[in-house]
């Protein structure tokens, strides 16, 4: 690990400086806001979105889009995508402890985080560059212009790995007027000090620049009470206790971005952005916590031994020990037995745009590199009898070109192509039950290294035909070719793990697939205030190669392959701007069939938690989504949204049984004629994972004139999620009950916006919900589980100056 102390001092200095400045008088006069105020008084103005890879207004685009502005993101302390998800209908995002690093769901369609070979069902696009790896959610949001959530398959415009939808993040662009801001705040629950700022302006008459940063230091919201006691397997070796801190996730974050905009002529622009984002924490699974169901009131491990300091409640108190140094010696990435998490992200994008008389050309080049190292104890006990260290690396190079026409006639076109190359080294170093390996002179059970390389090539074309002045038919298709190669090798194996793939022998597997994704949309716009559309859409998530932590000797190049996930269906929508633009309404209905859903299910038959990757037969997702925005007066706004969603397996009779499931509960041999065959359960007709039937939210903001010369804004919102299942095997302990999240903000500042003081509250109901749940297999008790949870209540005092 790097020197945490020095980085913490730097972060604290930045946060403290921001707090001092933010609580003082404004440094300069704020920019003139008269135009924005005029737009607000007459309605909402035009919100520009890029749902079809071109600038269109939110009101006129024939796509189900939720646009979340930078102000709302800041007011709800949404510094990462997990909290942004709470602002959008039918969206769930949570960090996972391994594999892809996250779960991202829209309308109940998601991927498990447990296998590193998985891509996501929801594509995340950052400043025009698409990402399929869930680890991207670990990058912090700062100086954000907006986040756009596109629901439903989006393959035509965005390509693979978007069968559930797309989340598009757009950072603020450079400006040719001098402006900037500095924000500093303190959040009291997790004891987090943070600061964020940006300065933007011209370097010449044709070149503008923007510099932005974010810094944060946090003690954490979970208490770790792991004591130092004699070791369970060897009492002569005492446990390490909470050697990585009494609170978690304890973290330091630093991020910066440099943006340049060059406009040498009206018909050409070049925009370059480069971001560096670093996160250091005292554990990689700080958002996880064990809990119990049924009659279990005291947790145990290995079937019988009590856990000192532990309890059965999900109460943000855990007894989660570090690893004694002797068991971590000579183990790669083990950090001497002290759990940790180090992440660093580098991201660059170059966007070139050239306009001609009747057509435009756009080129987007992307570069992304991440390096994540971690060590976690994974038996969730003070004894740390099971732990793992790992390193995840990922490099992406991408290039997109689009050509779109703007003829006066009824026909126009968009054609383009996309190429990406990815490289993903992965190292996994687990240690299970402290068995000494004399060959490697350590206690590591299996030291694994793998390299996965991929190349993706696609081309797409869209034709728009204006049948009438008010009626448009658009359609097109995207052709895709996806290839992946895996090279995996065990560098060493412990005495009890000789059943895994032999040491030094390289396991090689190849995957290749081609796919065509068509789409057709009919749009009716009788005037600028009304849009109605009906669409046929398809999408797919790439197949690939499973990348398990423990590769068995029985593995073959064919057994680790999985097929693509295919989506097909229809949706229709209606958007209206009424009452002079002060009332906006959006309504959408949809029905989609998903074939070959990719599912990772836990094998809970032993102490080690392993995962099997399969393609579920089929599922059906259908529902209704609606939103309403009303500018009641110049100073009062209301908003709300509603989601009714039915997402069920239509056929999945080979699902894995959950831990402890009996025959009476549906766990039966896969082959009725062979009682010794593997046991499965039939989940046909049950809901998909992370698929609540009902979600809705409502809120508003009010800006009364309370004090002359000061602007006061009061905001409040509430969101509701119905119950859902968080475990892929439909285990009883995986059920998440319905919950509410309430946010509120009180902001007071100058009328010109030059300075502002805010009291912000997020999740004031203190709802603690899980998006993933697994059997706590090391416990040896089927009533014990581990959940990956959201961040609880946040209350922050924040100051901002603008110029």
**Helix or strand run (H / E) with residue 12:** helix 4-22
Can you tell me the distance from the alpha carbon of 28 to that of 481, in angstroms, rounded to the nearest whole number? 54
Beta-carbon contacts of residue 699 (< 8 Å; ≥ 6 apart): 638, 639, 640, 715, 716, 717, 718, 743
- CATH fold of 4-802 reads Maltoporin; Chain A (2.40.170)
Q: Do residues 780 and 761 make contact, with C-beta atoms less than 8 angstroms apart?
A: no
Can you tell me the distance from the alpha carbon of 38 to that of 45, in angstroms, rounded to the nearest whole number? 9
Q: Which residues of 107-140 are buried (b: 16+ CB within 10 A; e: fewer)?
A: bbbbbbbbbbbbbbbbbbbbbbbbbbbbbbbbbb
Can you tell me the distance from the alpha carbon of 214 to that of 253, in angstroms, rounded to the nearest whole number? 8
What the block records as the tokens of 562 is 């999985």
Q: Do residues 348 and 364 make contact, with C-beta atoms less than 8 angstroms apart?
A: no
Give the pLDDT confidence of 767-782 residue by residue, as tens digits.
Answer: 999 999 999 888 899 9
Whether omega for the bond prior to residue 249 falls within 30 degrees of 0, making it cis, is yes
Q: What are the start-end ranges of the H helices in 103-206? A: 155-158
- Which of 364, 362, 353, 170 has its CA nearest to residue 264? 353
Q: Do residues 721 and 645 make contact, with C-beta atoms less than 8 angstroms apart?
A: no
Sheet of 222-224: strands edge to edge?
247-248, 222-224, 317-318
Can you tell me the distance from the alpha carbon of 527 to that of 739, in angstroms, rounded to the nearest whole number? 40
Cα separation of the two ends of the chain: 39
Can you tell me the distance from the alpha carbon of 763 to that of 190, in angstroms, rounded to the nearest whole number? 13
Instruction: Provide the β-strand partners of residue 668.
Output: 680
> What's the DSSP call for residue 134?
G
Q: Would you state the pLDDT for residue 616?
A: 73
> What's the predicted TM-score (pTM) here?
0.92
Q: Would you state the pLDDT for residue 118?
A: 86
Can you tell me the distance from the alpha carbon of 368 to that of 424, in angstroms, rounded to the nearest whole number? 12
Q: Would you state the pLDDT for residue 39?
A: 40
CA torsion through residues 699, 705, 706, 712, sign: positive
Give the pLDDT confidence of 462-492 residue by residue, as tens digits.
Answer: 999 999 999 999 999 999 999 999 999 999 9
Torsions phi, psi for 106 (to 5 deg) = -130, 125
Q: Would you state the pLDDT for residue 120?
A: 92
Give the pLDDT confidence of 214-239 residue by residue, as tens digits.
Answer: 999 999 999 999 999 999 999 999 99
Q: Which residues of 511-523 are buried (b: 16+ CB within 10 A; e: fewer)?
A: bebebebebbbbb
Rounded to whole angstroms, what are the CA distances from 177 to 113, 203, 206, 356?
Answer: 44, 10, 12, 27
Can you tell me the distance from the alpha carbon of 2 to that of 18, in angstroms, rounded to the nearest whole number? 25
User: For the chain, which ranges sit under pLDDT 70?
Assistant: 1-44, 97-98, 600-612
Please report, for the chain, the start and end positions of each structural domain, with discontinuous segments joined by +.
4-802
Can you tell me the distance from the alpha carbon of 194 to that of 185, in angstroms, rounded to the nearest whole number? 5
Assign 564 to helix, strand or coil.
Answer: coil
Q: Which residues of 634-643 are buried (b: 16+ CB within 10 A; e: fewer)?
A: ebebebbbbb
Q: Would you state the pLDDT for residue 97?
A: 63
HSE, side-chain direction, 13 A CA sphere, residue 314: 25
């Amino acid at each position: 690990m790097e020197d945490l102390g020095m980085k913490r001092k730097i972060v604290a200095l930045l946060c403290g400086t921001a707090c001092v400045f933010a609580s003082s008088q404004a440094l300069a006069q704020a920019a003139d806001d008269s135009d924005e105020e005029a737009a607000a008084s007459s309605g909402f103005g035009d919100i520009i979105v890029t749902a079809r890879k071109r600038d269109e207004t939110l009101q006129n685009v024939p796509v189900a889009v939720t646009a979340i502005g930078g102000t709302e993101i800041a007011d709800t302390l949404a510094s990462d995508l997990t909290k942004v998800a709470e602002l959008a209908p039918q969206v769930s995002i949570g960090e996972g402890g391994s594999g892809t690093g996250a779960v991202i769901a829209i309308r109940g369609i998601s991927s498990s985080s447990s296998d590193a070979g998985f891509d996501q069902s929801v594509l995340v696009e950052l400043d025009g560059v698409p990402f399929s790896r869930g680890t991207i959610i670990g990058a912090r949001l700062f100086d954000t212009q907006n986040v756009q959530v596109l629901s439903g398959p989006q393959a035509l415009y965005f390509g693979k790995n978007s069968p559930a939808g797309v989340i598009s993040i757009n950072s603020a662009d450079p400006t040719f007027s001098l402006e900037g801001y500095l924000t500093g705040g303190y959040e009291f629950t997790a004891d987090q000090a943070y600061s964020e700022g940006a300065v933007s302006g011209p370097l010449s008459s044709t070149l503008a620049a923007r510099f932005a940063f974010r810094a944060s230091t946090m003690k954490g919201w979970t208490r770790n009470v792991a004591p130092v006691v004699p070791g369970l397997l060897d009492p002569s070796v005492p446990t390490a206790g909470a050697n990585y801190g009494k609170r978690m996730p304890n973290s330091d974050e630093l991020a910066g971005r440099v943006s340049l905009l060059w406009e040498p002529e009206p018909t050409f622009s070049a925009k370059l952005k480069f971001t560096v984002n670093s996160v250091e924490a005292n554990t990689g699974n700080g958002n996880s916590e064990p809990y119990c169901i049924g009659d279990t009131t005291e947790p145990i491990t290995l079937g019988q031994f009590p856990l000192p300091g532990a309890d059965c409640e999900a109460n943000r108190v855990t007894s989660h020990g570090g690893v004694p140094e002797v068991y971590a010696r000579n183990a790669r990435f083990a950090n001497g037995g002290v759990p940790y998490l180090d992440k660093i992200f580098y991201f660059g994008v170059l966007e070139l745009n050239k306009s001609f008389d009747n057509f435009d050309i756009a080129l987007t080049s992307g570069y992304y590199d991440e390096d994540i190292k971690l060590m976690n104890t994974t038996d969730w006990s003070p004894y740390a009898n099971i732990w793992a260290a790992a390193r995840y690396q990922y490099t992406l190079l991408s290039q997109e070109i689009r050509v779109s026409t703007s003829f006066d006639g009824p026909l126009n076109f968009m054609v383009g192509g996309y190429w990406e190359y990815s490289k993903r080294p992965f190292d996994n170093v687990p240690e299970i039950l402290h068995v000494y390996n004399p060959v490697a002179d350590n206690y590591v059970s299996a030291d694994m290294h793998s390299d996965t390389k991929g190349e993706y090539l696609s081309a797409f074309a869209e034709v728009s035909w204006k049948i009438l002045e008010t009626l448009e038919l658009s359609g097109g298709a995207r052709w895709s070719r996806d290839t992946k190669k895996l090279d995996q090798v065990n560098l060493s194996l412990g005495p009890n793990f000789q059943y895994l793939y032999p040491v030094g022998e390289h396991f090689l597997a190849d995957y290749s697939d081609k796919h065509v994704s068509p789409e057709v949309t009919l749009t009716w716009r009788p005037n600028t205030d009304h849009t109605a559309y009906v669409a046929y859409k398809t999408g797919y998530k790439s197949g690939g190669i499973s990348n398990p932590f423990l590769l068995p000797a029985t593995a073959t190049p064919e057994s680790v392959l999985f097929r693509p996930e295919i989506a097909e269906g229809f949706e229709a929508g209606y958007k209206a701007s009424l009452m002079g633009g002060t009332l906006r309404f959006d309504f959408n209905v949809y029905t989609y069939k998903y074939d070959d859903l990719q599912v990772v299910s836990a094998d809970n038959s032993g102490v080690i938690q392993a995962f099997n990757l399969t393609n579920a037969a089929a599922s059906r997702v259908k529902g209704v989504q609606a939103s309403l925005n009303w500018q009641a007066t110049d100073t009062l706004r209301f908003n709300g949204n509603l989601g009714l969603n039915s997402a069920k397996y239509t056929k999945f009779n080979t699902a894995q049984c959950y831990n402890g499931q009996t025959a009476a509960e549906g766990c039966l041999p896969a082959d009725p004629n062979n009682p010794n065959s593997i046991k499965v359960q039939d989940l046909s007709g049950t809901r998909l994972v992370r698929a609540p039937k009902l979600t809705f939210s409502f809120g508003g903001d009010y800006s009364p004139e309370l004090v002359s010369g000061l602007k006061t804004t009061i905001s409040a919102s509430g969101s509701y999620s119905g119950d859902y299942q968080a475990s892929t095997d439909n285990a009883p302990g995986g059920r998440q009950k319905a919950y509410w999240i309430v946010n509120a903000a009180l902001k007071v500042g100058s009328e010109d916006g030059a300075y502002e003081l805010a009291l912000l509250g997020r999740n004031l109901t203190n709802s603690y919900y899980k998006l993933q749940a697994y059997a706590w297999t090391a416990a040896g008790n089927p009533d014990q589980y581990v959940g990956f949870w959201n961040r609880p209540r946040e209350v922050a005092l924040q100051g901002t100056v603008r110029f």
